[in-house]
Chains A and B, each alone.
Chain A
């Protein structure tokens, strides 16, 4: 009898003791479910709860070639105290920036509770030699980043070279040390929900603490159905192994209403246990001000001019 080919080193799928089962996703049905959940009507105190949570879950992001120490310092101040006129508004979870600006941010946010997240591994394409990616992740961790957002090598993934993707995530995870690792799948380049599911399980098996939809540089970025597919992968891993993986939709989430829809999706897929910044983040920039505007509207009953909210 022929011997089944051995899985690559360390690639014990989390779905044992059954035969490894990746499973599949039905496109029509998953999109329908996402639409149904987005129609939940979240009003009054439940809306305020969701908006407050959305702020606490935010990775306030700037990832531009033109970023400077001044820009990042301003962003950090906003992150620590988003609404100076209402101190009940909590600080965001983290700032998310390029590696060169990590020291500026670390200095600025220290002891505030706001974390510093940095992209790494030849962000956004990931098309560089592995040694460089590993080195970059290690350097960023050394500079004091609490969290590292890596990208997977989509080229390798789409070529079917899953072992390469897996090994890279493992190597980067080792290089991260204590820093949390978020793995960006760049779902907009993966083409199918089946691939999104496969990439999610691959990243989780390789040691991701979080899985993240997008870099923000490719359209489509985060969508509700893609997030649902990833949350369902996280749920399957949790049910099989008890391991809790975080989720970060990023890119294209600009309005408070969208954020609430994502939280409903999270709530009805993984339950209230996942409704913490430790397990869910929004990667966003302009979302914060819309949340602040809506929070003030819920509290005062009136919309205020956007001029009352700082642009950083």
Chain B
């Protein structure tokens, strides 16, 4: 038995457990070199003649050229939507509308791998998230609103709900396909037609969605996609044939849009920025609360309007929570968005990266203490290490302004009253988190926090049946749930 080692008192400890690369294959996605605009069910060349590349933030490679629609193009898209609304879509049996939506939902499920890979390629988010969150939720939204399409009378009894007409929708770059679904599903379910403008840095899944629209044999003109930058968005908002504007994005642009539609009679919903408080009480399940903190701020690189970017920790457990948080941050895997083990992907654009860097520098200058776990960032592409600031005062910019990146600011509180006061002390009011074992405290906090969404012992959890939207400068109107239908209907 010489080949068997002699008994040792201690076994050796390995120096590391490295995970071999596990990239999802790009081959499931077939990209065109160049994309036009999707108007009236057809691909058309932009009258503007303008094409711009869309860049993969992880590699800085150009993925495809995408049309930038001008005023004329937006006008044609709105016209096509108007026509489709008047010639059929508004009269079609509601149960038929439902069938189209069910069909879209099923096709999204069937093609989810393709969409997930493309979403990660174009936007930089980890495939784990696009696969497990964006795609299932997108399909779920279509399924959910398909169910409402022929039950509007029951959703709003005795109010005779009628569609508005043409909805102009502008979506952000953080959840491209999911935001498209949040917008298009309720609009179509209510009987409207749509002109949607995707964000300039992440147009590709919206363009692939046009393929789904065709596959589902949706009548031409019901869904029109006009890619481009803010100018196309402004045109869409301005167009007098648009009956309803829905916007998700920054508070700054939201204010401009509100000014532009003032006095026009257009219906408007805005879902804007946030600076949410994630509140940890001393009786919370700590290890799970730490997971909630991580998920609250590092989900999608912090490019989340409802991100839990202000952590409020009760002072008696402050040290423990921070120690656990820092330890956990050390296990986050930053890198290739297509790697199945990646937790944090690339920052969506160079512009956004600069904004994050600027605010982080301001935080350091103001005297907050910065911590970043050691991690190797790829050389190419736009990256930012997960960051936490401690010793933050309520007056610091990093406690006030939306950073929209993987940067957390930690504050402390002593009593529930102080937690409420600090949490509400912001111009925003989109979301909040409460971590406690005490059910009664959850209920009382949720009544006192001025935020549209309040999570208890969880964070960043979404469901199509649950309305989502803000207070104060985080916007108005709700998306999701029965509430999400109302902005797309008029009542006689």
- In the complex, which residues of chain A have a beta carbon less than 8 angstroms from the beta carbon of B365? none
Residues 34-59 of A at the B interface (beta carbon under 8 Å)? 39-47, 49-50, 53, 56
- In the complex, which residues of chain B have a beta carbon less than 8 angstroms from the beta carbon of A53? 14
Say whether A278 contacts B17, CB under 8 Å.
Answer: no
- In the complex, which residues of chain A have a beta carbon less than 8 angstroms from the beta carbon of B284? 24
Q: Residues of B within 8 Å of A, CB-based: how many? A: 37
Say whether A46 contacts B457, CB under 8 Å.
Answer: no
Q: A272-B14, A276-B13 are in contact. Are A39 and B283 (CB under 8 A)?
A: no
How far, in Å, is A147 (CB) from chain B's closest CB? Answer: 13
Against A, the Cβ 8 Å flags (1 = close, 0 = not) of B1-45 are 101111110111111111111100000000000000000000000
- In the complex, which residues of chain A have a beta carbon less than 8 angstroms from the beta carbon of B13? 272-273, 275-276
Say whether B22 contacts A41, CB under 8 Å.
Answer: yes
- In the complex, which residues of chain A have a beta carbon less than 8 angstroms from the beta carbon of B340? 39-41
Q: Is A199 an interface residue (CB 8 A)?
A: no
Q: Is B244 an interface residue (CB 8 A)?
A: no
Say whether A239 contacts B323, CB under 8 Å.
Answer: yes
Closest to A81 in B: B4
Q: Give A87 to B291 CA distance when docked, in angstroms.
A: 42
- In the complex, which residues of chain B have a beta carbon less than 8 angstroms from the beta carbon of A104? none
Q: Is B358 an interface residue (CB 8 A)?
A: no
- In the complex, which residues of chain B have a beta carbon less than 8 angstroms from the beta carbon of A239? 323
How far, in Å, is A256 (CB) from chain B's closest CB? Answer: 16
Say whether A43 contacts B4, CB under 8 Å.
Answer: no
Q: Give A113 to B9 CA distance when docked, in angstroms.
A: 9
Of the stretches A2-10, A25-33, A123-131, A208-216, the one at the interface is A25-33
Say whether B17 contacts A275, CB under 8 Å.
Answer: yes
Say whether A112 contacts B437, CB under 8 Å.
Answer: no
Q: Give A87 to B340 CA distance when docked, in angstroms.
A: 33
Q: Is B124 an interface residue (CB 8 A)?
A: no
How far, in Å, is B304 (CB) from chain A's closest CB? Answer: 17
Q: How large is the interface on A (under 10, 10 to 19, 20 to 34, 35 or more residues)?
A: 35 or more
Say whether A267 contacts B17, CB under 8 Å.
Answer: yes
Closest to B131 in A: A39
Q: Is A80 an interface residue (CB 8 A)?
A: yes
Say whether A25 contacts B285, CB under 8 Å.
Answer: yes
Say whether B292 contacts A29, CB under 8 Å.
Answer: yes
How far, in Å, is A231 (CB) from chain B's closest CB? Answer: 10
Closest to B457 in A: A26
- In the complex, which residues of chain A have a beta carbon less than 8 angstroms from the beta carbon of B6? 111, 113
- In the complex, which residues of chain A have a beta carbon less than 8 angstroms from the beta carbon of B415? none
Residues 434-479 of B at the A interface (beta carbon under 8 Å)? 437, 457-458
Say whether A91 contacts B4, CB under 8 Å.
Answer: yes
Closest to B287 in A: A232
Q: Is A283 an interface residue (CB 8 A)?
A: no
Q: A49-B17, A112-B7 are in contact. Are A26 and B12 (CB under 8 A)?
A: no
Question: What are 21 A-B contacts with C-beta separation under 8 Å?
Answer: A23-B286, A24-B283, A24-B284, A24-B285, A25-B287, A28-B458, A29-B458, A33-B291, A39-B128, A39-B132, A42-B19, A43-B20, A46-B19, A46-B20, A91-B4, A91-B5, A111-B6, A111-B7, A272-B15, A275-B13, A277-B11
